[in-house]
Chains A and B, each alone.
Chain A
């Protein structure tokens, strides 16, 4: 039934129609690395890099093809004047550095190798221009010519396996790819960041015992993520969803010899299972309720949901279930606890999986199934809903927790939680485009920050502790410093950085207090929380930056510093592995001072820093009259789906008031942070906190610090309270109940019964009464025994409880319904 779309898209472009190749290439690379990696001269890394280069080149071409597809669809609808599809005036080296929807033509990236060359060129051109990341004036944004607010329907490119792939009991399961603007954007983001992470890793995990294994899983991860992006039905989607979970598990536990790492991996895996139940149930709900008949097809479900033929209740239930999956995968409040722990993995993994790609899978899922959420949550015209609220709470929780971390990666991890909250909040208030735009810009600058933190730790005793091992690094690591600064500015929402624009779009999209025109509702609470988080983000990133790069280097006095004996005193994440031995030797040669990392580490950093800046041009607000029309809102124009499978959302306009407010919040917050650390420096050049700082004083600040340092006591709640309650007090309570209440009843019953028996001995048959007495005694003691023995570790007891509970529950259902 989708033949029409497929047929209409016949000329959409080879890469869009054969998108299955995108996951297939890294998957083949995974198998090759697994089986032949060890025998290769570079132990398999070259296979992974080649595969990713091919994927990235393909993504660029697919982007170009998607642009011409959109243009063709629009001209076909006659809503646009004819246009000269002049997309080729981008300069070669910058052409690839913005997002794919707007920039790439196929002409200069015919194959992977040439793209890679052009990549390097770009990097060299930028680094050659000094360490500054501000690009030269020659930065020309290559654009398709046509702007305008055409709302012609753009059919997605859906390719399906022609014959039935798999039929069970009369239900067809299909495989296929579903390519539209957001999928193409994700292809670009995942391909690019994965490629950069591969290159970075060749240096970072150099010499690791499981080097080959590491690259194999990076490839598998990329393949799974691309499959998730392209899946056209929910069965494929959940398969890929689980696969990325497995890869994440394997990569977090990469150094599983250490108990902490393997615990973190397990925690990530198990926390995700909680949400996966939601995904499964939501998927089944949609299977039975949405679409014509029973279908897993995402396109059909979306069309059905958007057309309003599906019952609201079903959509709400499905949306809530899917939201549970988002909460676990995308680290939303109260299932976010795994994400910071996942920093136990190697830093490139943190950058790739836990900042840029995997954790946005949940966000992507909301975006992909947007009609379900839009209708199910009644986003249009509302002022609060579950998605927006969860996002808003998450963004504040993550932002506040980032303040108290000593570990630079944990700061970034909580910041990721916070930014993911932003994206979910944006989706919750109907700002779809803003969420996707933020997803892309965040991927760039967060990957840049993470890789930067890895580079820093590489130089600083392989520790991530900002207070003991860092400080003053701007003198030693100029490239890392510059790129980290760009990332920080982008994240903090400094104007003229991509992060500012995407964040501002989200805030405008809330439509809070009616400050922005054209929003989907009046989500005032979300606007306030977003603004507060904006301020917090600026402050904690200033803290992070200051502790790392300003002041004096504290690492020489650190307990981690003296690693003359290599094996000794490695209490941090990365150092215990053989990974760093070469680097250790280098350190010793340098007399222990930090030093800039090698080119394979700094080049990806530079590329990402440039992107963190350049990406802002992708979606210039439509009100900016001084920008040529064809340059505005390119992202919205090409990425946002247009058609019956997407709800009619309205777009908030740029609001100067909100922009200024968020600017003020960020400026004040970072100003306060700078003032604080200046004072610290004045008191003690080597210090990291004021001696009499707020947190060392008693009272409210101290309480707040404790709450934050204990992560809002969530872990404690999960492990100690819930598990502990079930294990300890409940059993004790049962025992107490048995000892005091039941035994009392037993004794009382027996005594009373015996007396009655004594009195009525002549009236009633002694045997009967005795029987009753004994019976009640035995019955009571058996009941008491049940309660006492509930926690005896005998599985059959638990099984009895389970069966009895199931029977009671079934009885309730049978009688009630």
Chain B
């Protein structure tokens, strides 16, 4: 498992650095591009634990669609391309403290609960068959699936209604 751990470390480091860049960079477009790295990293982590279908979906939906949506949003709101001086509000210290506090609590709880539990404690990591996922969605979670479809429809209509010019 050494190789996996090494890859995890590399990807995780890239993700964390990029994530910090996302929330600190002064350039909106750069933020979006750093976000791409984080999202791709998440997809890579998914594949690392054998969740291939979800990893591919992550790439398709996030990098394929959501980021494009963000770039359109940036363009349409004509946010200045390039450096902006005050992209952060004056409460960023409080925000930072809050985030740190939250992280401390969560880390403590996690270490307390799963100290060095192996992720393979309940069986070796194996690529989970897409079929199992689809069976699960369309059998056990059919109603939530329908609800999500309905939600997407509602969001579609809602977004059009909200953003439409009168």
The judgment on whether A and B are partners is yes
Which residues of A are at the interface with B, using a C-beta cutoff of 8 A? 166-170, 782, 785-786, 789, 794, 796-797, 800, 803-804, 806-808, 810-811, 814
Which of under 10, 10 to 19, 20 to 34, or 35 or more describes the interface residues of B? Answer: 20 to 34
- Cα-based distance from A38 to B143 in the complex (angstroms): 35
Taking CB as reference atom, which chain A residue is nearest B147? A168
Which residues of B are at the interface with A, using a C-beta cutoff of 8 A? 89-91, 93-95, 97-99, 101-102, 104-106, 108-109, 112, 139-144
- Cα-based distance from A170 to B109 in the complex (angstroms): 29
* Contacts A168-B141, A170-B140, A803-B98 given; does A814 touch B91 at CB 8 Å: no
- Cα-based distance from A168 to B90 in the complex (angstroms): 46
A796 touches B98 (CB 8 A): no
Min CB distance B78 to A, Å, is 22
B140 touches A800 (CB 8 A): no
B109 / chain A contacts, CB cutoff of 8 Å: 810, 814
A796 / chain B contacts, CB cutoff of 8 Å: 89, 91, 95
Min CB distance B26 to A, Å, is 18
Of A166, A169, A808, the contact of B101 (CB 8 Å cutoff) = A808
B101 touches A782 (CB 8 A): no
B143 / chain A contacts, CB cutoff of 8 Å: 166, 168
B94 touches A811 (CB 8 A): no
A167 / chain B contacts, CB cutoff of 8 Å: 139-140
Interface of B is mostly: helix
B97 / chain A contacts, CB cutoff of 8 Å: 804
A797 / chain B contacts, CB cutoff of 8 Å: 91
B112 touches A800 (CB 8 A): no
- Cα-based distance from A135 to B106 in the complex (angstroms): 74
A807 touches B91 (CB 8 A): no
* Contacts A785-B90, A796-B91, A814-B105 given; does A804 touch B98 at CB 8 Å: yes
B102 touches A803 (CB 8 A): yes
Q: What 6 A-B pairs come out closest when comparing CB atoms?
A: A807-B102, A811-B105, A804-B98, A814-B109, A807-B101, A803-B98
A782 / chain B contacts, CB cutoff of 8 Å: 93-94
B142 / chain A contacts, CB cutoff of 8 Å: 168
Min CB distance A791 to B, Å, is 14
B102 touches A169 (CB 8 A): no
- Cα-based distance from A794 to B95 in the complex (angstroms): 13
Which among B93, B94, B106 has the greatest number of chain A C-beta atoms within 10 A?
Answer: B94
A786 touches B94 (CB 8 A): yes
Min CB distance A257 to B, Å, is 24
- Cα-based distance from A797 to B95 in the complex (angstroms): 9
- Cα-based distance from A811 to B98 in the complex (angstroms): 12
Taking CB as reference atom, which chain B residue is nearest A786? B94
B106 / chain A contacts, CB cutoff of 8 Å: 810
Taking CB as reference atom, which chain A residue is nearest B99? A803
A168 / chain B contacts, CB cutoff of 8 Å: 140-144
- Cα-based distance from A814 to B143 in the complex (angstroms): 34
Min CB distance A173 to B, Å, is 8
Min CB distance A755 to B, Å, is 27
A810-B109, A814-B105 known; 18 other A-B pairs, CB under 8 Å? A168-B141, A169-B141, A170-B140, A785-B90, A796-B95, A800-B91, A800-B94, A803-B102, A804-B98, A804-B101, A807-B98, A807-B105, A808-B101, A810-B105, A810-B106, A811-B101, A811-B104, A814-B112
- Cα-based distance from A800 to B99 in the complex (angstroms): 9
- Cα-based distance from A785 to B95 in the complex (angstroms): 13
Taking CB as reference atom, which chain B residue is nearest A170? B140
- Cα-based distance from A401 to B95 in the complex (angstroms): 49
Min CB distance B38 to A, Å, is 20
B91 touches A789 (CB 8 A): yes
Taking CB as reference atom, which chain B residue is nearest A785? B90
Taking CB as reference atom, which chain B residue is nearest A804? B98
A804 / chain B contacts, CB cutoff of 8 Å: 94, 97-98, 101-102
Which among B101, B139, B144 has the greatest number of chain A C-beta atoms within 10 A?
Answer: B101
